[in-house]
Copies of this chain bind each other. A is one copy, B any other.
Amino acid sequence: MARKVDVRLVFQRRLKQARLTQELSQRDLGINAGLDPFVASTRINRYEKGIHEPDMATVARLAAALKVPTAYLFAEDERLARMILAFEQLSATEKDQLLKTVENP
């Protein structure tokens, strides 16, 4: 029953890592996500450090600014995280095809 890595830690890690991948400062990420430029740095910092939790709307805007699906930021399992990113790169038909093979036992 134990062993559940806190989602908040997962969120922090994925947020920071995705930001660094996009080569954005905390401030610029916040601005790109539509936050007031005067508070962008402060708020992103608090989200990455786990001091505060953003609401869902903010999470979605962050994900958009980071060019990742919102779900990615909550993927505890590393393999699932990679799959989410890879899946997004596929065309609609490729997605359908992949689903067809994976969903059938």
Contact = CB atoms under 8 A, between A and B. Distances in A.
B57 A8 contact: yes
Which secondary structure characterizes the binding site on chain A? helix
Nearest to A102: B86
Nearest to A77: B69
Interface size grouping (class) on chain A:
35 or more
With a 10 A CB-CB cut-off, give which of A4, A56, A71 has the most chain B CB atoms: A71
B57 A7 contact: yes
Contacts of A39: none
Interface of A: 4, 6-8, 11, 53, 55-57, 59-60, 64, 69-77, 79-80, 82-84, 86-88, 90, 92, 95-96, 98-99, 102-103
